[in-house]
Chain A
Amino acid sequence: MTFLIQQTLIYAVPLMIVALAGVFAERSGIINLALEGIMIFGAFAGVLFVNLTQQAGVFAGAKEAGNWVALQGFELLAMLVAALVGALFSLLLSFASVNLKADQTIGGTALNLLAPALVLFLIRVIANQNTLQMAEGDAASWFMIRKSTLGIDRSTDLGFLGETFINRVYLATYICILLFIVLSIILYKTRFGLRLRSCGENPQAADSLGINVYRMRYAGTTISGALAGMGGFVYALTTANCASTGDVAGFGFLALAVMIFGNWKPLNIAGAALLFGLFKCIAASYASIDINGDGAFLLAEIGISPHFYRMLPYIITLVVLAFTSRKSRAPKAEGVPYDKGQR
């Protein structure tokens, strides 16, 4: 059960934060199809930062001394870099869709094509292979929080909650959850959030009240890019051992599905992300899931093909959308370039 919860969280948290990234863009009126591409680029930037910093030996002393606080700071720094690069990359989308009034779907598709191509090109030049990894050690030994890192003896039993949420976890997971809560409050309870949302519903009305629609849309897309870039790095850190391969296995698109399934509302999105995380987790490790701890691997013993489990998240998405699509309500003005003179 501990394993199941931890694994589900690992998959659910990037989905959740990237889906929220989608919400910020769409609530401001820009369809951000490029989530996948921004994730790929953010993951690359974060991993490259980790790699270069390790090569420069900046945190080598901290690692030697087992100074885990410094190492967690290193992790946060990498997340920050990924977020910054993601935000910068998303400017390509905002420029095309806000200033040039280009088609947002195609602009997003272009970024989705560009990110893996550019990343793979650079990785090939930098690392001479198709993956960029950490310069030394692995993600677990550098960044994972364990009992031993906290100074607790390995054999102590922390109880169910402690074992699940303190042992063998990444700080990034909790930072993302915290950010998710804070940003949701900003979106709903502050003046900025209200203005942002108004630009996605009725930009003409917003403009007539003195809100700069262009600036709001830039803000929405940039926040979106930062979150997606960070989500990409968190995904690479927690599921891919901090390696960048120019691929995030379609997580950006799953996040879009989560966003639509969650009806563009943070609380629903959190629930949807957990559900998808669970199915992703089952698909990834169905053979080693021991639900009630009796040593029997139920899912593996049913004898269903692993291919079916891998297909499951996508089939569920379609089925769930089939049931919810009639009720879902997108921001009204999303995808429509804002034209001041339009009546």
Chain B
Amino acid sequence: MKQSANGLLSRDSTKTVLASLISILIGLVVGSVIILLVGLADPDLSLSSAWEGIRLVFGGLLSTGRDAAGALTFGFNPTNVGNMLFRATPLILTGLSVAVAFKTGLFNIGAPGQYLMGTAASLMLALGIPSETVPTGLIWCIAFLGGILAGAIWGCIPGLVKALLNINEVLACIMTNWIAANLVTWMFDGSDFRNLVENTKSGYIYKTSYNGVETAKLGLDKLFPNSQVNGGIVIAIVMAILVYILMTKTTLGYELKACGSNRHAARYAGIRDKRNIVLSMAIAGGLSGAAAALYYLSGNTEFFWSTYQTLPAIGFNGIPVALLAASNPIGVVFTGCFMSMLDIVGLQLTNLTAYNEYITDVIIATIVYLSAFSLVIRMLLSGRKKHKTAVSVETASAAGPVPAEAAPPAEAGGPETDGTEEKGGEAT
């Protein structure tokens, strides 16, 4: 019995999960400490409000508001859980997008741009095709596929310049992000897709339900009443499984991973490395596009079209989702849910206390920072168990989610606007 427990502990995957859990825990603690410090330093905030903030950081998902006496109450809150699943949908997909690129040795920081192009394409298709003549189900499918295609095409650009001109993909991705942000604004500026019916809403695009197009609920709304959840989460999970099969069970997946481990060795073995780089970025882009399509085709989200100054936070948050899951497609489903849970926590903090939702972004950033040296954490875990051999195996296979190839000349990375303002806010 003891042996099997030891065996489980020394397995690589267990250590990865443990390292991620430790990162999450430290991240939450750091968030709590900041809340405590601010609570102590600010005369308007008392220690008890800091304590409330900390309790919400850890248990925000289960928060049910305040009771008559003004104390925080906790319990199962189906609305929160449903909203968490709804928000997890795009995060899972952008996380998959970043993870697929990681496996090929590429850092896809272009997810926001691909997400924006997917948004524009699926919204234009969903609103542009007349629902009088075409069944709405078909429009939904066309718009979904259109979003994927647009994202894939946008993802191809950094892939192509990387493969053919050897421009660092991180830099190319950042440039294409901002080009996409301006392009999308340009496409919608002055168009008929803007919501001109409702007052003060002309900054937004119509909800797709305006044209009768919305994602099927699949009965999930009965399960989680009053929430925005819909069938999108099912599609996201199915896509995660498909990506898992693609990466682990097919020749293409093997070739992609071979390029990620060592591009030159892969080419020597007869694998077309340039094609695979472009293909990997196209798949990554398609997944980001799918994220956007599922988010905006839900029928109850609005897109703020004048987006040239901000990039969508969902795109950037794909990076922590993928890192935390160590680029494992199945793990991404769980870390995506965790990230969206933090979103809910942020909302609860804003609604119920004097603190604001940005503390959850601090928590996410801390987790990313820790995952940068998750290798160290994992080595500590192995060292504690005194498994000398495990250590050496661990260090040998320690490339982690990161491209093993020494980072090429150029670089750049990270969000300019971060998870600050979610311009595509959802109005129910």
Contacts and interface: CB of A to CB of B under 8 A. Distances in A.
Answer yes or no: are A and B bound together in one complex. yes
Interface string A291-309: 0000000000000010110
B182 interface: yes
Contacts of A112: 413-416, 418
B335 to A, nearest CB: 15
Which one of B165, B368, B414 has the highest number of Cβ atoms from chain A below 10 Å of its Cβ?
B414
Contacts of B309: 249
Contact of A33 (B365, B412, B418, B421): B412
B420 A250 contact: no
Contacts, number: 205
A168 to B, nearest CB: 26
Given A110-B365, A124-B356, A247 B411 contact: no
Find the residue from A117, A247, A326 having the highest chain B CB count within 10 A: A117
A107 interface: yes
Contacts of A315: 175, 179
A117 B175 CA distance: 22
Given A31-B411, A116-B417, A307 B186 contact: yes
Interface in A304-332: 305, 307-308, 310-311, 314-315, 317-318, 321-322, 325-326, 328-330
Interface string B25-69: 000000000100010001000000000000000000000000000
B36 to A, nearest CB: 13
B369 A326 contact: no
B365 A311 contact: no
B171 interface: yes
Interface string B196-218: 00000000000000000000000
A326 B166 contact: yes
B235 to A, nearest CB: 28
B409 A307 contact: no
Nearest to A34: B414
Given A113-B361, A317-B175, A318-B172, A103 B410 contact: no
A31 B413 CA distance: 10
Given A125-B38, A314-B175, A334-B407, A108 B414 contact: yes
Contacts of B366: 110, 114
A121 interface: yes
Interface stretch (B126-134, B267-275, B289-297, B370-378): B370-378
Nearest to A123: B358
A120 B186 contact: no
Contacts of A117: 358-359, 361-362, 364-365, 418-420
B179 A311 contact: yes
A120 B358 contact: yes
Contacts of B179: 311, 314-315, 318
B420 A330 contact: no
Interface stretch (B81-89, B246-254, B315-323, B381-389): B315-323
Nearest to B373: A102
B136 interface: no
B140 interface: no
Nearest to B320: A113
B323 A106 contact: yes
A100 B376 contact: yes
A253 interface: yes
Given A109-B319, A124-B356, A305-B186, A321 B167 contact: yes
B359 A121 contact: yes
Interface string A92-130: 100010001111111111111111111011101100001
Contact of A105 (B107, B182, B186): B107
Contact of B418 (A100, A116, A334): A116
A304 to B, nearest CB: 11
Contacts of A260: 168, 171, 409-410
Contacts of B359: 117, 121
B120 interface: no
B261 interface: no
A107 B369 CA distance: 5
A131 to B, nearest CB: 12
A31 B407 contact: yes
B408 interface: yes
A36 interface: yes
Nearest to B165: A322
B182 A307 contact: yes
Contacts of B362: 114, 117-118, 121
A325 B175 CA distance: 15
Contacts of A96: 369, 372-373
A34 to B, nearest CB: 7
Most buried by B among A106, A325, A329: A106
B402 interface: yes
B406 interface: yes
Q: Which of B356, B362, B400, B412 has the most CB of A within 10 A?
A: B412
A338 B170 CA distance: 23
A257 B365 contact: no
B185 interface: yes
B411 A335 contact: yes
Contacts of A110: 365-366, 368-369, 371-372
A37 interface: yes
A248 interface: yes
A100 B374 CA distance: 10
A103 B308 CA distance: 31
Contacts of B410: 256-257, 260, 321, 325, 328, 330
A46 interface: no
Contact of A113 (B171, B316, B407): B316
Given A36-B414, A116-B418, A336-B406, A106 B371 contact: yes
A42 interface: no
Given A107-B372, A110-B368, A125-B42, 18 more contacts: A31-B407, A102-B373, A110-B372, A112-B414, A121-B34, A121-B356, A246-B420, A247-B420, A250-B174, A250-B178, A256-B410, A256-B412, A257-B171, A260-B171, A307-B308, A315-B175, A315-B179, A330-B408
Shortest beta-carbon contacts, A-B, top 10: A112-B414, A117-B361, A330-B409, A114-B365, A110-B369, A307-B186, A102-B373, A335-B407, A113-B365, A121-B358
16 contacts: A31-B407, A92-B369, A102-B376, A103-B402, A107-B369, A109-B319, A113-B364, A113-B414, A121-B356, A246-B418, A246-B420, A247-B416, A253-B171, A253-B412, A326-B165, A330-B409
